[in-house]
């Protein structure tokens, strides 16, 4: 694993999951692995879980951590090539990424979709620019289209709570007052490609997700039908991919409530948080013992830790390999 | 001590004071007590002393520290129950507190009074919500009505500077251009309940404080009379409690100057800082050797350290106790 | 060395340079020197390199680091004496500096020129106020008129890349859409006073720098003539010193391009970053192997580390000396 941007970066997803589950039980197992190494965390957007869980994971590995709110603490960055930089952007990603690579051993980037242009967002302009111009491993802390640290924590949570049979997992769209990115849903389904589960996606027409990340799931436009016999209900809002970035529906008919959960096979409720109570799901659902959101958030630390550890070990191997080549 | 929110949480205030005075002399006495433990610090408001002294105290105990400017770095939080969250607040305290509890072992909260509603502020909506929904000890870094870390540092400073006789301490209101909370005054008087001192409070009519925290003091509306024979003059502005949050008086007649200090018994001047020079007190008063403000600020580190250490030790005991119960 | 504000604070600049070059090769040589000591970093302005390189240097020395965005995290500071503080500034530098001195062992300050008043900026109001009212060593992280951490890194880079002969170094002004301080240019020339180099400064008329810091250089208003035989071309925009803070020229004729670099003696290109591509210099210049900007940024860590280490060692000596005097 050279970077951690999408599932494609991971040779053995099952092993990474196992590693994360091991850190869940033994958080201090490798408390010196990161000694004298530095993790940089760059935030272009708000963050609670990702910000804190990455720092906690770093501390568990003995890594030094540098946190930067890019545009508040530092300079606005230019990502386009060949531009005459005479407007409001003071620094080009070429310099910023090269410089930060010298101060850090690993680099996490959070840069949400801007939902203006499908092309720009799905080209992953920002995280790919860091990948291109940085010389250290890049960790996706939610990019325009993917949020793999969340997915790893999500699938850990499913592993911890799964029934004996192959589980049925329903990913249900839910309403939200603002237009949100598709990253969490994309990433969850991408991981679904390699996990042992039957996946059904349910949403109003017009909310079909990109086929770029996964196709091995059934779409069922009738939420009630979809929920039948579900072992897990992963709920999430996203804006339209087709009518890019638009909110086509805000109907509370899609809100997950106790009645809907009753249709499932004693299904567990999942959400990545933050969640709008009584919009995305009702208080009754969120306060029930079947809600796994807090467990999912808990698993963000061991998930991050597994990724950081894996990248550190790879880096060590490469560094030894190049030493032998001298 | 399960939390550190008000004096009521402390079984033996005198012992906590003693512990703090010990850290004042031996800051590194317990430099490994917090090893592999994490302190979260959540700021809803500005902070200089609290922010830095908490981090310094954590470092002295070997605690890892995660600092979050809640609304700038993360999401706006909803504190009301049962709300349909379709406005500007993205996350409910129920989730936020539960999640952060999993990443941290101790949690400091700064959330000032908003001075809109006496009911809301004096119900301590924010810090009590954290107490309710978090599963770890909560530390008050100035809530709507109290600032006990300041008070502990204040009473340490009095201990270090007190005369042989039982001291007379005057808490004097002073003018200020903005409406300020009553927290520092409330908390100082609450601690006064258990300390050995005669306390006189002086302020213009209409500025009477809540009787919720202390009543064992004399109110003297004539500042000159009040100051007579004072050993300590604690100066602080607060907005009206009765005409809640209002500024009823901005008269510089209440400003503390050298003439007024001359009425005292070679009295020491105290203030929690930040202080508006030549509004609350004159340069001459602040630059005199009798001003203790910088000592008070110095004592914020050992005060915080005593509280953190006490909570860590309690946590250890409880964790051992539950281990034996298995 | 008691502070690190200007070259005047450094008894032996050559030795400091040597020390920095040693840390460049052996970053962990003194990894326990700062144990149980605290570095405070106060930012009044944006920062990428300074912010991260200082934290990295601190980590390399085992120093604890407290970072504060002064006006965002804390209170607006008053720097004038005798003011009645009834406007928007909540705390006076006298208190702030004295308080922070108690929490930290070393203190870095970033406070840019405001370019409103030459008198105020060149009096170094802010950093000098910290020097006056703090009781710990002050480190200049770019003040109104100087940026010596940058200069130390710059001259390390020159040392690493210099020809056998005494180098010719050209400091060339370049256009920029905004009015920028003169600090980097002033500081580079101040260091030039003690380094072994022929220095030529080239800029449009009206952009003459203050003679306060250096005079041992030639001014050549013809950029082409200036560049002839240059071994290094240090490029930087600054606003006018004479017509203080004004932008007198934005002509792209002063932009450094490949043609201009071809006039030099295979000259190396230098810039402190952030740089406006295709305004200050073209992509071709910045992407050529002769560009040293990324090396300069790399050297910010060992430069900062040398300064921090030097101040720590001095502090230790003084502390021992006062112990013997008891």
User: In angstroms, rounded to a whole number, what is the distance separating the alpha carbons of residues C156 and C121?
Assistant: 28
* B48/chain C closest Cα distance in angstroms: 5
What is the layout of strands, in order, in the sheet containing A268-270? Answer: A218-219, A198-202, A168-173, A232-236, A268-270
Rounded to the nearest angstrom, the gap between the alpha carbon of residue A122 and the centroid of all alpha carbons in its chain is 15
Judge: A75–C51 Cβ closer than 8 Å, yes or no: no
Beta bridge partners of C127: none
Average pLDDT over residues B125-140: 97
Q: How confident is the model at residue C286 (pLDDT cuts 50, 70, 90)?
A: very high
Cβ contacts below 8 Å, chain A against chain B, sum to 85
Residue from B183, A152, A91 nearest C297 by CA: A91
CA–CA–CA angle B16, B21, B25 (5° rounding): 145
Residue from A211, A98, A18 nearest C292 by CA: A98
Burial A179-188 (b: 16+ CB within 10 A, else e): ebbbbbbbbb
What are the tens digits of pLDDT across the range B18-45?
999 999 999 999 999 999 999 999 999 9
Per CB-CB distance under 8 Å, the chain A contacts of C43 are 73
Average pLDDT over residues B276-289: 98
What are the tens digits of pLDDT across the range C209-252?
999 999 999 999 999 999 999 999 999 999 999 999 999 999 99
CA–CA–CA angle B200, B111, A287 (5° rounding): 130
* C136/chain B closest Cα distance in angstroms: 14
**Which of A31, A56, A177 is facing B38, going by the closest CB pair?**
A56
Mean per-residue pLDDT of chain B: 97
Judge: B91–A48 Cβ closer than 8 Å, yes or no: yes
Q: What is the pLDDT of residue A71?
A: 87
Judge: A94–C298 Cβ closer than 8 Å, yes or no: no
Paired tokens of B33: 């007590």
Domain extents for chain A?
Answer: 7-146+300-324, 148-293
Total Cβ atoms within 10 A of residue C22: 16
* A12/chain C closest Cα distance in angstroms: 33
Judge: A90–C276 Cβ closer than 8 Å, yes or no: yes
Q: What is the pLDDT of residue B320?
A: 87
Judge: A98–C279 Cβ closer than 8 Å, yes or no: no
**DSSP 8-state code for residue B291:** B
Substitution target from B102, B107, B130 for chain A, most A beta carbons within 10 A: B102
First-to-last C-alpha distance (Å) of chain A: 23
Per CB-CB distance under 8 Å, the chain A contacts of C301 are 102-103
Residue from C292, C212, C204, C194 nearest C255 by CA: C204
**Which of C46, C56, C298 is facing A74, going by the closest CB pair?**
C46
Note whether A208 and A171 are within 8 A (CB): no
Judge: A99–C286 Cβ closer than 8 Å, yes or no: no
Paired tokens of A245: 């970035």
Substitution target from A112, A150, A157, A277 for chain B, most B beta carbons within 10 A: A277
What are the tens digits of pLDDT across the range A153-193?
999 999 999 999 999 999 999 999 999 999 999 999 999 99
R_g over Cα of chain C: 20
Per CB-CB distance under 8 Å, the chain C contacts of A85 are 276-279
**Which of C82, C95, C100 is facing B52, going by the closest CB pair?**
C100
Note whether C90 and B274 are within 8 A (CB): yes
Q: What is the pLDDT of residue B326?
A: 56
Note whether C124 and B308 are within 8 A (CB): no
Judge: A99–C48 Cβ closer than 8 Å, yes or no: yes
Per CB-CB distance under 8 Å, the chain B contacts of A69 are 72-73
**Which of C84, C94, C96 is facing B278, going by the closest CB pair?**
C84
User: In angstroms, rounded to a whole number, what is the distance separating the alpha carbons of residues A2 and A225?
Assistant: 42
CATH code: domain B149-297 is: 3.40.50.1370
Highest CATH level, class, for C7-146+299-318: alpha beta
What are the tens digits of pLDDT across the range C31-63?
999 999 999 999 999 999 999 999 999 999 999
> Which phi and psi (to 5°) does residue B67 adopt?
-105, 130
**Which of C48, C53, C283 is facing A96, going by the closest CB pair?**
C48
The number of CA neighbours under 13 Å toward the Cβ of A142 is 23
Q: What is the pLDDT of residue A151?
A: 98
Task: Tell me whether the omega of the peptide bond preceding residue B274 falls within 30 degrees of 0, making it cis.
Answer: yes
Q: What is the pLDDT of residue A320?
A: 87
Give the B-side interface with A, CB within 8 Å: 36, 38, 40, 64, 66, 68, 72-75, 78, 81-87, 90-92, 94-96, 98-100, 102-104
User: In angstroms, rounded to a whole number, what is the distance separating the alpha carbons of residues C136 and C4?
Assistant: 11
Note whether B181 and B144 are within 8 A (CB): yes
Beta bridge partners of A69: A43
Total Cβ atoms within 10 A of residue C228: 15
Note whether C174 and C137 are within 8 A (CB): no
Per CB-CB distance under 8 Å, the chain B contacts of C40 are 52
Total Cβ atoms within 10 A of residue C294: 18
DSSP code per residue over C235-298? EE----TTTTT------GGGSB-HHHHHHSSSPEEE--S---BTTTB-HHHHTSTTB-HHHHHH
Q: Which residue has the tokens 């939610």?
A: A142
| Residue B307, pLDDT above cutoff 90 | yes
Residue from A111, A57, A127, A63 nearest A300 by CA: A57
User: In angstroms, rounded to a whole number, what is the distance separating the alpha carbons of residues A242 and A247?
Assistant: 11
How deeply is B146 buried, as exposed, middle or buried, from its count of CB atoms within 10 A (0-12, 13-18, 19+)? buried
Give the chain B residue nearest C93 (alpha carbons). Answer: B274
Cα dist. A120→A85, A123, A210 in Å? 19, 5, 14
Average pLDDT over residues C295-321: 96
Give the chain C residue nearest B175 (alpha carbons). Answer: C86
What are the tens digits of pLDDT across the range A70-127?
988 999 999 999 999 999 999 999 999 999 999 999 999 999 999 999 999 999 999 9
Element (H, E) at B270: strand B268-270
Mean per-residue pLDDT of chain C: 97
Which fold would CATH assign to domain A148-293?
A: Rossmann fold (3.40.50)
What are the tens digits of pLDDT across the range B158-198?
999 999 999 999 999 999 999 999 999 999 999 999 999 99
Q: What is the pLDDT of residue B201?
A: 98
Note whether A43 and A181 are within 8 A (CB): no
> Which phi and psi (to 5°) does residue B68 adopt?
-135, 120
For strand C38-43 and strand C64-69, is the pairing parallel, antiparallel, or unpaired? parallel
What are the tens digits of pLDDT across the range A15-73?
999 999 999 999 999 999 999 999 999 999 999 999 999 999 999 999 999 999 998 89
Judge: A102–C298 Cβ closer than 8 Å, yes or no: yes
User: In angstroms, rounded to a whole number, what is the distance separating the alpha carbons of residues B205 and B187?
Assistant: 21
Q: How confident is the model at residue A321 (pLDDT cuts 50, 70, 90)?
A: confident
Q: Which residue has the tokens 């071809």?
A: C262
What are the tens digits of pLDDT across the range C202-221?
999 999 999 999 999 999 99
CATH code: domain B7-146+300-316 is: 3.40.50.1370
User: In angstroms, rounded to a whole number, what is the distance separating the alpha carbons of residues C6 and A10?
Assistant: 50
Cα dist. A21→A13, A298, A314, B101 in Å? 12, 11, 20, 20
What are the tens digits of pLDDT across the range C135-168?
999 999 999 999 999 999 999 999 999 999 999 9
Note whether B237 and B204 are within 8 A (CB): no
User: In angstroms, rounded to a whole number, what is the distance separating the alpha carbons of residues B308 and B57?
Assistant: 8
Judge: B294–C92 Cβ closer than 8 Å, yes or no: no
Per CB-CB distance under 8 Å, the chain B contacts of A301 are 102-103
Judge: B103–A53 Cβ closer than 8 Å, yes or no: yes
User: In angstroms, rounded to a whole number, what is the distance separating the alpha carbons of residues C147 and C154?
Assistant: 11
For strand C198-202 and strand C64-69, is the pairing parallel, antiparallel, or unpaired? unpaired
Judge: C275–A36 Cβ closer than 8 Å, yes or no: no
Average pLDDT over residues C13-21: 98
User: In angstroms, rounded to a whole number, what is the distance separating the alpha carbons of residues A141 and A111?
Assistant: 8
Chain C contact partners (≥3 CB pairs within 8 A): A, B
Looking at beta carbons, which pairs linking B43-46 to residues 24 or more positions away fall under 8 Å?
Answer: B43/B67, B43/B68, B43/B69, B43/B70, B43/B110, B43/B141, B43/C73, B44/B70, B44/B71, B44/B109, B44/B110, B44/B111, B44/B112, B44/B126, B45/B110, B45/B111, B45/B112, B45/B142, B46/C73, B46/C74, B46/C75
Residue from C236, C158, C230 nearest C194 by CA: C158
Give the chain B residue nearest A300 (alpha carbons). Answer: B103
| Residue C326, pLDDT above cutoff 60 | no
Helix-strand-coil split of chain C, %, nearest 5? 40, 15, 45
**DSSP 8-state code for residue C210:** P
Rounded to the nearest angstrom, the gap between the alpha carbon of residue A207 and the centroid of all alpha carbons in its chain is 20
Give the chain A residue nearest B134 (alpha carbons). Answer: A294
* Range A7-146+300-324 has CATH code 3.40.50.1370: yes
Q: What is the pLDDT of residue B117?
A: 97
| Residue B325, pLDDT above cutoff 70 | no
Substitution target from C88, C102, C130, C136 for chain B, most B beta carbons within 10 A: C102
| Residue A323, pLDDT above cutoff 80 | no
User: In angstroms, rounded to a whole number, what is the distance separating the alpha carbons of residues A272 and A187?
Assistant: 12
* A318/chain C closest Cα distance in angstroms: 20
Note whether A193 and A7 are within 8 A (CB): yes
SS3 C88: coil
* C125/chain A closest Cα distance in angstroms: 23
Per CB-CB distance under 8 Å, the chain C contacts of B112 are none
For strand A168-173 and strand A232-236, is the pairing parallel, antiparallel, or unpaired? parallel
Instruction: Kindly provide the ipTM of the predicted complex, given to two decimals.
Output: 0.96
Paired tokens of C165: 């002969």
């Amino acid at each position: 694993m050279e970077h951690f941007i999408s599932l494609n970066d991971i040779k053995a997803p099952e092993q990474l999951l196992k590693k994360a589950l091991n850190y869940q039980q033994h958080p201090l197992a490798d408390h010196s692995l990161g000694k004298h190494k530095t993790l940089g965390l760059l935030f272009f957007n708000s963050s609670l879980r990702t910000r804190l869980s990455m720092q906690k994971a770093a501390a568990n590995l003995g890594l030094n951590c540098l946190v930067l709110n890019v545009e508040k603490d530092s300079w606005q960055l230019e990502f386009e090539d060949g531009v005459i930089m005479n407007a409001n952007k003071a620094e080009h990603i070429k310099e910023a990424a090269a410089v930060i690579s010298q101060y850090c051993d690993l680099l996490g980037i959070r840069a949400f979709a801007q939902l203006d242009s499908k092309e720009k967002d799905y080209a992953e302009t920002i995280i790919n620019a860091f990948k291109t111009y940085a010389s250290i491993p890049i960790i996706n802390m939610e990019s325009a289209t993917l949020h793999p640290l969340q997915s790893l924590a999500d699938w850990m949570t499913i592993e911890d709570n799964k029934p004996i049979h192959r589980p049925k997992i329903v990913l249900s769209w839910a309403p939200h007052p603002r237009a949100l990115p598709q990253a969490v849903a994309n990433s969850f389904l991408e991981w679904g490609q390699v996990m042992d589960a039957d996946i059904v996606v349910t949403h109003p027409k017009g909310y079909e997700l990109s086929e770029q990340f996964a196709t091995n799931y059934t779409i069922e436009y009738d939420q009630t039908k979809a929920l039948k016999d579900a072992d897990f209900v992963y709920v999430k809002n996203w804006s339209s991919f087709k009518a890019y970035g638009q909110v086509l529906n805000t109907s509370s008919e899609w809100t997950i409530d106790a009645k809907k959960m009753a249709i499932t096979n004693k299904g567990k409720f999942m959400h990545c948080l933050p969640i709008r109570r009584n919009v995305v799901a009702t208080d009754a659902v969120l306060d029930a013992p079947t809600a796994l959101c807090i467990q999912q958030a808990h698993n963000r630390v061991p998930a991050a830790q597994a990724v950081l550890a894996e990248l550190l070990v790879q880096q060590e191997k490469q560094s030894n390999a190049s030493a032998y080549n001298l």
